[in-house]
A and B are shown apart, each in its own frame.
Chain A
Amino acid sequence: MIVVARSDRSVLGSWWWTVDRVLMLGFAILAVIGLILVFAASGPVAIRNNNPATYFVERQAVFLAASIGLMLCASMLSPRGVLRLSLFLLAVFIGLTALTPFGPEVKGAHRWLDFGSFRLQPSEFVKPTLAVVVAWLLARSQGLRGLWPSLLPVCLALAMLARQPDIGMAFVVAAVFGIQLFLAGLGWGWITAAAGAGIAGLWGAYLFYPHFTQRVDGFMDPSQEVYQVDKAMNAVASGGLFGRGPGEGVVKFQLPDAHSDFIFAATAEEFGVITCLALVGLFFFLLSRALRRVSGLHDRFCLLAAGGLAAQFGLQAFINMAVNLNLMPTKGMTLPFISYGGSSLLAFGLSMGLLLALTRRGARLELVR
């Protein structure tokens, strides 16, 4: 443990005593578990793509270090710094997202931009920064008067995600916005209306996006099994309570994206359902701890921004695991800190860094009055 005196008023000293160290450690533990799970699950995929078996692990380790570094740096920011950084990054990444239609097509979608050997998914960074900016727009004015200005960036982001298309991510963005409105004091009548709008939005997506239509149909019709989900279920079932043992998985050889979107199923096969239950428990512990910390905040901006970031973390973890367990139709969504993926890791490092910065004791951004 770093020994820092409580009386130390330096940036590092005040950071150490005000930040939620348990939460920080929790994210780091999650990331290390993620590295182990990628190690177990990525070998076959790497070999299938003519790479060395440890290709993904090595890359994941590099991104993991960068992500943790990013998290630590971001967590040292003041709420104002959080806001400034978010405004800047949102502008940059909205711009980059606008370029993705010219990027490479992967599995029927344009979500990425190629930078050398690194394939960036800019929308991953839009999610957290948008939540912070929306929180600022909402907190600037009393009540819900901030709703109208905040609709502008949200709708812009949704429109771009819909064009890629990335319905899963759009759903998360919309849901986080909804939760932020809820925390900002949205009336129950409006909440009902918003839920209705959300469902209408999904229905519209189902009607107009063939990619999405196919996934939903595959989910609804049990006879028309989607290959990935079918294999994921096989993997979970094959593992049983205690798993087949690290490296002993057989279904993982047939499971596409075993290292990224379907890492949870691959984990179930090798490490067993008990390990998966522990993972679900760890996610919920981190989520509830973050939210409890949020509920102790006295600043409206910090509360809305941190609440939105925590909700995004929890929502994405839930959706990914639900897809792996065939509770929801397939979406291209990563499991925070666990799935392989540079963009996702860095974005969650940034996102949780911002969350830690906003939940530091005494954090406030004097906007009102």
Chain B
Amino acid sequence: MKERVPLDSVALGRRRIGVVVATFGLLFATLAFRLVDITQFAAKEERAAALVLPKDGISRRDVVDRRGVPVATDVIVSGVGADPREVPKDPEVYRSLGAVLERDPRIIARLLDTDRHFIWLERRITPRQQADLLRLGIPGIEFRDQPRRVYPQANLVAHLIGQTGIDNNGLSGLELVFDKTIRTEAGMRDREPFALSIDLRVQQALREELASAIRTYEAAAGNAMIMDVHTGELLAMVSLPDFDANHPVGPKDERRFNRNTEGVYEVGSLFKALTLSTLLDAGVVRMDDMWDVRERLKIGRRSIGDAHMLKRWASTTDVFINSSNIGTARMALAGGRELQHHYLERLGLLEKPQLELPGVSAPLVPKRWPDITVAVVSYGHTLAVTPLSFLNAFAAVVNGGILRPATLLRRDPEQPVPGERVISQAASDQIRELLWLNVVGGGGTKARVPGMMVGGKTGTADKPVNGRYVKGVVISSFAAAFPMNAPRYAVLVMLDNPTANEATMGFRYASWNAAPATGKIISRVAPLLGVPLVPQEVEDGFLAKAPPEIQQEEMKRRGKEAQLAAFAPH
């Protein structure tokens, strides 16, 4: 080929182009190698960091009621943090962050003034805040997802479930007691939920009825429980006032107080059911005994009276259904101090009750135990116990005589429930009959629920205010079990300082407030619990053994009910 230009300039240039191509080939090959290198080898960690959003905080199992309805569950919420080394040191940045997070820009600036690799700016932010922060596009801002505990039932079981901290760690209630059990590995949401003995339907009904009773009887507060007498499982436990578990109140707030387990009260005449059943068991008292309740009972310098003096000799049944302090005290004194002490101990009333909650209170036990103490303890004074302790003992004396530990966890129906016999079957049968009679023709008639054979006992105890009893300030309670032919559930309702108003015909006694409230509760929860109506023949069998005046009274009431039923539209 013929060259027009000198070989040394153009031809050399053409040859050198090859060198340039080769050099570029090398450079581009380096790029290709680097690309593969980053992805496949060098950046395994970086890749993981980019793909997996870091998680902080503890994952927890769902807590559910006995039927599987959630009481507590985890939701994933975002938090915002920052790598302070990457965030521009600019007042404008602090201002815009402060605006979105609703915090003082100076605080943001102080938080970011550190050499650490990560700091939290806000642990829980809303999706809107997250979107706003993303839109700001500030370098170094990072989001981290974390589980947050929510309580879908809000107030309903707030006293029991407790609460968790910022890291989702258990702080109080069941969340604290079972913290290790409830905690689970991150992402393992499918683990078996943690089941409570509570039935949320029953809990809801109980809370509603208790709140209604507090309103109707103008009480300051109240508490109530329903227990399965054969397993010790608590199906419901309500203390009012309460709070929303999602927005817990301070530790000193009154609403925080679970009256069922933390409060100790002199329960009053409710206690007569325990006293009588233990004395029947010991053989000290028999059903056909007669007791002198004509005058006040003098013990040393003190004397005991009844609200309505019977002014006659009374049968054991009469003493119980008229709630005679004098009669009960005489029975207790007949048994003596040792026997009383022995039974109180067996029923677990002299020690702190066992339950899966922190802060359960021990009873206030009198230090000295002279005869006057024996007398007043027999009808529920001087010895102050938690409502839970009382209900547990009450369930034992009506269930056939076996004390079983109370629990807030669902028991496996296949497993036998541990228990200890505290009174005989015969004594339990007798107290059941007496409790039923008390509702048919005694102080508890307003707790009557047709077909449910409710049995129960009223208690109206003077309430100590600053260590002194104040006239007219009472705690009014009712303890019941149903159906009395074969008890399944025990109920305790307590009203703190109810007012004597029109609804109670001017009375402050439990028979006028706690008893009707209990009746309403039972009529509402019995269908939920699947308790069948007691056949008329069974109830008639019980009635046949009752004293004639009670039989007459019952027949009269049935006649009235039949008349009313004739008018009722079908």
Q: Give which listed residue, B8, B14, B25, B139, contacts A284 with CB less than 8 A.
A: B25
Q: Are A318 and B134 in contact (CB under 8 A)?
A: no
A307 touches B (CB below 8 Å): yes
> Nearest B residue to A254 by beta-carbon distance?
B139
List 5 A-B pairs, Cβ < 8 Å.
A234-B49, A238-B47, A238-B51, A280-B28, A368-B6
A160 touches B (CB below 8 Å): no
Q: Are A142 and B9 in contact (CB under 8 A)?
A: yes
B188 touches A (CB below 8 Å): no
A interface size (C-beta, 8 A): 56
User: For residue A179, which residues in chain B have a CB less than 8 angstroms away from its CB?
Assistant: 20
Q: Are B9 and A280 in contact (CB under 8 A)?
A: no
A57 touches B (CB below 8 Å): no
User: For residue B12, which residues in chain A have a CB less than 8 angstroms away from its CB?
Assistant: 185
Q: Are A237 and B50 in contact (CB under 8 A)?
A: yes
Flag B66-90 by CB within 8 Å of A: 1 or 0 each.
0000000000000000000010000
Q: Are B5 and A295 in contact (CB under 8 A)?
A: no
Complex interface: stretch among A18-26, A33-41, A112-120, A319-327: A319-327
User: CA separation between A295 and B20, bound complex, in Å?
Assistant: 11
Q: Give which listed residue, A47, A227, A241, A294, contacts B17 with CB less than 8 A.
A: A294
User: CA separation between A234 and B38, bound complex, in Å?
Assistant: 10
A134 CB to nearest chain B CB (Å): 14
18 extra interface residue pairs, beta carbon distance < 8 Å, beyond A235-B50, A314-B27: A44-B137, A143-B8, A182-B16, A182-B19, A183-B13, A236-B35, A238-B46, A241-B40, A253-B137, A254-B137, A287-B21, A288-B24, A292-B21, A295-B18, A307-B17, A318-B24, A322-B30, A325-B38
Given contacts A277-B35, A280-B32, A294-B17, contact A143 B9 (CB under 8 A): yes
A319 CB to nearest chain B CB (Å): 9
B interface size (C-beta, 8 A): 41
B43 touches A (CB below 8 Å): yes
> Nearest A residue to B34 by beta-carbon distance?
A325
Q: Give which listed residue, B4, B39, B86, contacts A236 with CB less than 8 A.
A: B39
Flag A270-308 by CB within 8 Å of B: 1 or 0 each.
000100110011011001100110111111100110010
B538 touches A (CB below 8 Å): no
B99 touches A (CB below 8 Å): no
> Nearest B residue to A144 by beta-carbon distance?
B9
A271 CB to nearest chain B CB (Å): 12
User: For residue B305, which residues in chain A have a CB less than 8 angstroms away from its CB?
Assistant: none
User: For residue B134, which residues in chain A have a CB less than 8 angstroms away from its CB?
Assistant: 253
Q: Are A182 and B20 in contact (CB under 8 A)?
A: yes
Q: Are B86 and A227 in contact (CB under 8 A)?
A: yes
Q: Give which listed residue, A237, A300, A314, contacts B43 with CB less than 8 A.
A: A237
User: For residue A350, which residues in chain B have a CB less than 8 angstroms away from its CB?
Assistant: none
A48 touches B (CB below 8 Å): yes
B139 CB to nearest chain A CB (Å): 5
Q: Are A239 and B5 in contact (CB under 8 A)?
A: no
User: For residue A321, which residues in chain B have a CB less than 8 angstroms away from its CB?
Assistant: 31
Q: Are B5 and A298 in contact (CB under 8 A)?
A: yes
User: CA separation between A234 and B50, bound complex, in Å?
Assistant: 6
Q: Are B137 and A183 in contact (CB under 8 A)?
A: no
B524 CB to nearest chain A CB (Å): 54
Q: Are A237 and B14 in contact (CB under 8 A)?
A: no
B140 touches A (CB below 8 Å): yes
B566 touches A (CB below 8 Å): no
Q: Give which listed residue, A48, A185, A292, A327, contacts B30 with CB less than 8 A.
A: A327
A138 CB to nearest chain B CB (Å): 9
Given contacts A237-B46, A295-B14, A318-B24, contact A277 B32 (CB under 8 A): yes
A338 touches B (CB below 8 Å): no
> Nearest B residue to A319 by beta-carbon distance?
B27
User: CA separation between A288 and B17, bound complex, in Å?
Assistant: 10
User: For residue B51, which residues in chain A have a CB less than 8 angstroms away from its CB?
Assistant: 238
Q: Which 3 pairs between the two chains have the least Cβ-Cβ distance? A: A238-B50, A237-B43, A295-B17
Given contacts A185-B13, A283-B28, contact A300 B20 (CB under 8 A): no
B417 touches A (CB below 8 Å): no
Q: Are A298 and B35 in contact (CB under 8 A)?
A: no
Q: Are B35 and A280 in contact (CB under 8 A)?
A: yes
| A window 231-264: CB within 8 A of B | 233-241, 250-251, 253-254, 256
User: CA separation between A227 and B138, bound complex, in Å?
Assistant: 11
Q: Are B43 and A291 in contact (CB under 8 A)?
A: no
Q: Are B139 and A227 in contact (CB under 8 A)?
A: yes
B537 touches A (CB below 8 Å): no
Q: Are A304 and B13 in contact (CB under 8 A)?
A: yes
User: For residue A234, which residues in chain B have a CB less than 8 angstroms away from its CB?
Assistant: 46, 49-50
B10 touches A (CB below 8 Å): yes
Given contacts A236-B38, A318-B28, A325-B38, contact A291 B17 (CB under 8 A): yes
| A window 105-135: CB within 8 A of B | none
A154 touches B (CB below 8 Å): no
User: CA separation between A287 and B35, bound complex, in Å?
Assistant: 20
User: For residue A143, which residues in chain B have a CB less than 8 angstroms away from its CB?
Assistant: 8-9
Q: Give which listed residue, A44, A182, A287, contacts B24 with CB less than 8 A.
A: A287
Interface centre among B28, B46, B47 (most CB of A within 10 A): B28
A252 CB to nearest chain B CB (Å): 11
A318 CB to nearest chain B CB (Å): 5
User: CA separation between A44 and B18, bound complex, in Å?
Assistant: 43
A309 touches B (CB below 8 Å): no
User: For residue B139, which residues in chain A have a CB less than 8 angstroms away from its CB?
Assistant: 227, 254, 256
Q: Are B16 and A183 in contact (CB under 8 A)?
A: yes
> Nearest A residue to B137 by beta-carbon distance?
A48
User: CA separation between A235 and B21, bound complex, in Å?
Assistant: 30
Given contacts A227-B86, A227-B140, A237-B46, contact A307 B13 (CB under 8 A): yes
| B window 27-61: CB within 8 A of A | 27-28, 30-32, 34-36, 38-40, 43, 46-47, 49-51
User: For residue B39, which residues in chain A have a CB less than 8 angstroms away from its CB?
Assistant: 236-237, 239-241, 273
User: For residue B10, which residues in chain A have a CB less than 8 angstroms away from its CB?
Assistant: 297-300, 303
User: For residue B14, which residues in chain A have a CB less than 8 angstroms away from its CB?
Assistant: 294-297, 303
User: For residue A297, which residues in chain B have a CB less than 8 angstroms away from its CB?
Assistant: 10, 14
A74 touches B (CB below 8 Å): no
